[in-house]
Structure 1
């Protein structure tokens, strides 16, 4: 079950028994945690990965070396995993259309798995977020678009995520060299795109959502999805039926709708260090701001993890049906240096025709502009006992854009963000 950590979830996690184990960054000298018994570790490996892939959002796969930071706990036949953070940030987005804000992002995820028969495993996942507390308009994020607040399209803002990010169940059945699986969620995540950005090790300390979010992984909160597939250590193929509509403005509720959209995805994991995926989805009426428009979305991405380095890169083509085709690409990386130090960055480019969505009278309305955003930053992680850690850091972003955007965005806007990220595990 995936959960975005609330204060209560953090309190439960802090009280976890001594058998809890870190899932991600190597422990700092003198801070090693005791490992669980051998049979417990074997159960964990069986439920959370296969030696080549690691748990990620929905049914997506990441390299086994890109392990989600958090705690593992054995409770009888159940293997529990808890993951989460509370991320305080202060941002100053530059230029005339920029804004300032102090805000908190949060996520708590709990996953529970156990065998329920010979060769049959059950996994339950819940993920929650208190992001709705930051307000309907989310936080400033220059050149980001997608979804609405008070009926108005969000431009240069990142929308808050819903309280219920995932409530799902999955059954795996051994079949030949691999497993057949069925996954369902309300909400859940269809087989489309790479793992959501908040679960990628390459984005571990990047404090802002990608401006390419609605090209790659915006379906990570889908109110109604069923996925079936087959997975081996080397590859996975899957298909989903899901509700193509993006979440509504009420971020506290659970929505329902017809499973009117579909997607297919193929993933390959040639080693514990590499994972790649190609996917295509047909989304019916995904965006409230574009009524009557459907979308065909093609994505491809590759991830690498090893020796303290996590990297993800991807390309996407979004076809409005009817309408134009818009492309996007990104590359992001986090490198953990000696001890608590880490450097990170992201470069992304997007063709966006929604930058003047709220001004139909503008001559730039409904025009597509290619924008590039480059972000770099540094973080320092401090352990807080055996269950928590806090990362202190900051990042700076610069942009490349057409001259036609200078009147609205300024000549050379620069954005800066400082953050403190309280994390479960260390």
Structure 2
């Protein structure tokens, strides 16, 4: 299985060379950020600084060198306060209202999900999220408010969520979920943040959210450019970024143009099965994260979190979580874009041995219409997570998945860019799980439609 995963990892990395060729020759130098003119009016660089990123991320050659806090694009913030590369494709609608920047972004999927084998099911599912952000540049800082919501409680909540082989995490009707992905809550984020500039090169970030994301893990999978086109969740979600919806978060951090160190105090309990409310509790967990964006193309992070009581069915079992990730973005040809993310996550649950997860995912937009995307995962999953018989509950099983998909985008049609897509997954289980899954390589797939803001293309 490791050899197969490594092979797909190499295949996913191939666009790097292809992208480099497309950017070479006549396009050589197109991807290098250039600093704005010191004499240029502020409005001429809309989209560059914190105060003016409403049109979404700019393509290469339009992203200035980040030399001060005011140069940091707001779209560097991928989810919560997590950073992604500054260089991203346009992805939002924008309005200026009396000195306030209003930004709308999101993505919606609807389709038919088929998961094979004895533990698989088939179902119609609607998946996605919508977000409104408001920001205002102040003389000594920046204020940002965000509201993010998901339709999944209404469109993907039947029987605890949509079918997904080998997925684990959270509970439904007092039973642990397995081979299903739970729906996200109606309120994914209700947050207010303020960055105070002490100087041009360092400041203080404050973030408060009744529903939000602590400083733990990479940008959550629904919001990563490398996963924009895949409707389904990652199998390592609960090792890497499951805290992206936490009900009660306070974060403070020191920030520079290229690095940020932040700490969070938050409610570490997983959301319950009632997806329409806020599961507020006294914060009982903490996390710390170091992020760095050395160039417009690259974002990295390493983080650690202590979750005192994450699972409602095992409230006395704490979890120590360690994550590390790197994301790389680059233009591809005249109108395309390539994004890749690698993530490592490790959980230590109570007195149990630690378990690890590895992910490599990539999306390649060839020309603004044709998109190919893929994902390779390897996760060590305990038997009790997979809800195996008692004699297997304490075992740890190596499972994996290889996924490949394609999306064709129409339009745009006004402010919306619709698309149709398909994804297929080859799952890999050890011999000890063969009888539960009907073989060593159970498969799954989905056909879907996709809707997202049209944004802009270079």
TM-score range, shorter chain: 0.7 to 0.9
8 Å Cα contact 1:243-1:259 kept in structure 2: yes
Deviations 1:332-372, CA, capped at 9 Å, x for gaps: 0000112400100000111111466545x443223210101
2:169 aligned residue: 146
8 Å Cα contact 1:377-1:396 kept in structure 2: yes
2:33 aligned residue: none
1:364-375 equivalent positions in 2, closer than 5 A: 364-375=392-403
> How has the CA–CA distance of structure 1 residues 213 and 356 changed in structure 2, closer, same or farther, with 3 Å as cutoff?
closer
Taking the aligned partners of 2:386 and 2:80, their CA distance within structure 1 comes to 31
Q: SS in structure 2 opposite 1:383?
A: coil
> How has the CA–CA distance of structure 1 residues 57 and 339 changed in structure 2, closer, same or farther, with 3 Å as cutoff?
closer
> How has the CA–CA distance of structure 1 residues 128 and 68 changed in structure 2, closer, same or farther, with 3 Å as cutoff?
farther
8 Å Cα contact 1:90-1:101 kept in structure 2: yes
1:90 aligned residue: 112
* Aligned pair partner of 1:39 in 40, 43, 61: 43
Deviations 1:102-146, CA, capped at 9 Å, x for gaps: 111131100000134x21211000101111113251100000000
8 Å Cα contact 1:326-1:352 kept in structure 2: yes
2:179 aligned residue: 156
8 Å Cα contact 2:166-2:386 kept in structure 1: no
1:3-18 equivalent positions in 2, closer than 5 A: none
> How has the CA–CA distance of structure 1 residues 286 and 68 changed in structure 2, closer, same or farther, with 3 Å as cutoff?
farther
Q: SS in structure 1 opposite 2:271?
A: coil
Matched, 1:192 2:213: no
Q: SS in structure 2 opposite 1:333?
A: strand
* Aligned pair partner of 2:364 in 335, 349, 362: 335
Task: Using the TM superposition, give the Cα deviation of residue 75 of structure 1 relative to its aligned residue in structure 2, in angstroms.
Answer: 1.2
Q: TM-score, normalised by structure 2?
A: 0.81
* Aligned pair partner of 1:106 in 121, 128, 133: 128
1:314 aligned residue: 343
1:174 aligned residue: 197
Taking the aligned partners of 2:377 and 2:323, their CA distance within structure 1 comes to 14
Taking the aligned partners of 1:261 and 1:390, their CA distance within structure 2 comes to 40
Matched, 1:127 2:148: yes
8 Å Cα contact 1:51-1:64 kept in structure 2: yes
2:327 aligned residue: 303
Task: Using the TM superposition, give the Cα deviation of residue 290 of structure 1 relative to its aligned residue in structure 2, in angstroms.
Answer: 2.3
Matched, 1:260 2:288: no
2:95 aligned residue: 73
Taking the aligned partners of 1:315 and 1:302, their CA distance within structure 2 comes to 9
Taking the aligned partners of 1:88 and 1:318, their CA distance within structure 2 comes to 32
Q: SS in structure 2 opposite 1:45?
A: coil
> How has the CA–CA distance of structure 1 residues 44 and 74 changed in structure 2, closer, same or farther, with 3 Å as cutoff?
farther
Taking the aligned partners of 2:338 and 2:277, their CA distance within structure 1 comes to 38
Q: SS in structure 1 opposite 2:392?
A: coil
Q: TM-score, normalised by structure 1?
A: 0.87
Q: SS in structure 2 opposite 1:73?
A: strand
Q: SS in structure 2 opposite 1:363?
A: helix
Moved more, 47-56 or 299-308: 47-56
Task: Using the TM superposition, give the Cα deviation of residue 384 of structure 1 relative to its aligned residue in structure 2, in angstroms.
Answer: 3.9
Q: SS in structure 2 opposite 1:63?
A: coil
* Aligned pair partner of 1:183 in 204, 207, 232: 207
Moved more, 41-50 or 232-241: 41-50
2:25 aligned residue: none
> How has the CA–CA distance of structure 1 residues 40 and 152 changed in structure 2, closer, same or farther, with 3 Å as cutoff?
farther
How many residues were matched structurally? 388
Task: Using the TM superposition, give the Cα deviation of residue 388 of structure 1 relative to its aligned residue in structure 2, in angstroms.
Answer: 0.2
Taking the aligned partners of 2:382 and 2:246, their CA distance within structure 1 comes to 24
